[in-house]
């Protein structure tokens, strides 16, 4: 496999996590697959001088923008930067020099992705015109006001519109990058990377108001292994008795463990996991509701509908209509 060149834009006052988060995800790919990771990540700036991030941490660029201008770039990642106004108003700021370099590099890039308020840089560069895009919720009104040609949706964790990806705030950069990895190398590998990060693999466009709360992590390794078994065997019956037998304990003891360590019941946890998987399938594919129900262990569409009503206060059909990715 040819090495994919990933260029992360670097500039003064950039949000540090926007830079390090995606880089970390790509680096963990190396651990989780045999042979080379397939990615080469470089930090590019106007000069090779150290850049001071918003966190005060100084970072050294690997290359200049000019040195990669004649190369084929696989992925260009554009972080963001903000300033705080007199009334504590958060505003995205863009550097005209960086905007111009992004505009010049984009035609030589297979895909462009912005992190957090980096969407403002893409918009200034003309890369979001006529496209649906997201950004951090605090600057979404600013993006819509300054760029009426952009269809701004502040709800999704990230949005893919053709070869342009835009991500929401800060830690959503991990979700965005995991999706890039999944798009390149498959969902299974992306899930393994997510487990290394001790995080859940997010849906392509999970929404805050539709989000199922993240479950607490158990301190018990065997419970964590059981949780992994559940997420990888959702089409199985997964009865309390079967799960208890895997841990060699009684049904009652399993119920007590789930209540004490995870704050829920086994049945509720399983339904939550199935709903999360069904959301993934509804957002990313064209499977019928019957297939989605059977694949994720609901059995029937009626059961799938009831679970979505309980967990998300919507129906699977309504959810797909709103959050289906292109």
The residues annotated with a catalytic role in the active site are 116
Report the C-alpha gap between 72 and 256 in whole angstroms. 56
Four-point Cα dihedral 131, 137, 140, 141, nearest 10 = 150
* Burial letters 87-97, b for 16+ CB under 10 A, else e: eeeeebebbee
Whole-angstrom distance, CA of residue 304 vs CA of residue 316: 7
CA distance to 186, 194, 318, per residue, from 311 (Å): 28, 23, 14
- What is the spatial distance between Cα 26 and Cα 29, in angstroms, rounded to a whole number? 5
Strands 164-167, 158-161: pairing kind: antiparallel
What's the N-to-C CA distance of the chain in angstroms? 27
CB 108 within 8 A of CB 76: no
């Amino acid at each position: 496999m040819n090495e994919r060149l990933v260029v992360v834009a670097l500039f003064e006052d950039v949000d540090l996590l926007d830079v390090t988060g995606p880089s970390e995800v790509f680096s963990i790919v190396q651990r989780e697959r045999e042979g080379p990771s397939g990615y080469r990540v470089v930090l590019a700036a106007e000069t090779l001088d150290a850049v001071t991030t918003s966190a005060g941490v100084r970072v050294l660029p690997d290359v200049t923008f000019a040195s990669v201008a004649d190369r084929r770039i696989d992925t260009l990642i554009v972080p963001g930067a903000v300033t705080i106004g007199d009334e504590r108003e958060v505003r995205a700021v863009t550097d005209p020099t960086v905007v111009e370099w992004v505009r010049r590099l984009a035609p030589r890039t297979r895909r462009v992705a912005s992190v957090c308020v980096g969407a403002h840089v893409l918009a200034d560069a003309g890369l979001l015109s006529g496209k649906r895009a997201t950004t951090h919720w605090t600057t979404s009104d600013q993006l819509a006001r300054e760029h009426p040609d952009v269809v701004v949706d502040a709800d999704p964790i990230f949005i893919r519109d053709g070869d342009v990806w835009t991500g929401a705030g800060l830690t959503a950069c991990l979700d965005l990058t995991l999706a890039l990895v999944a798009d390149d190398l498959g969902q299974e590998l992306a899930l393994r990377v997510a487990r290394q990060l001790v995080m859940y693999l997010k849906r392509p466009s999970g929404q805050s108001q539709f989000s199922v709360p993240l479950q607490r992590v158990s301190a018990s390794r065997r419970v964590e292994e059981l949780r992994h078994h559940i997420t990888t065997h959702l089409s199985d019956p997964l009865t309390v008795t079967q799960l208890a037998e895997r841990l060699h304990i009684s049904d009652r003891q399993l119920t007590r463990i789930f209540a004490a360590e995870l704050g829920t019941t086994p049945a509720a946890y399983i339904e939550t996991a199935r709903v999360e998987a069904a959301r993934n399938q509804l957002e990313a594919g064209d499977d019928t509701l019957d297939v989605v129900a059977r694949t994720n262990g609901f059995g029937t569409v009626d059961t799938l509908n009831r679970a979505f009503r309980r967990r998300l206060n919507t129906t699977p059909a309504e959810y797909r209509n709103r959050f289906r990715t292109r």
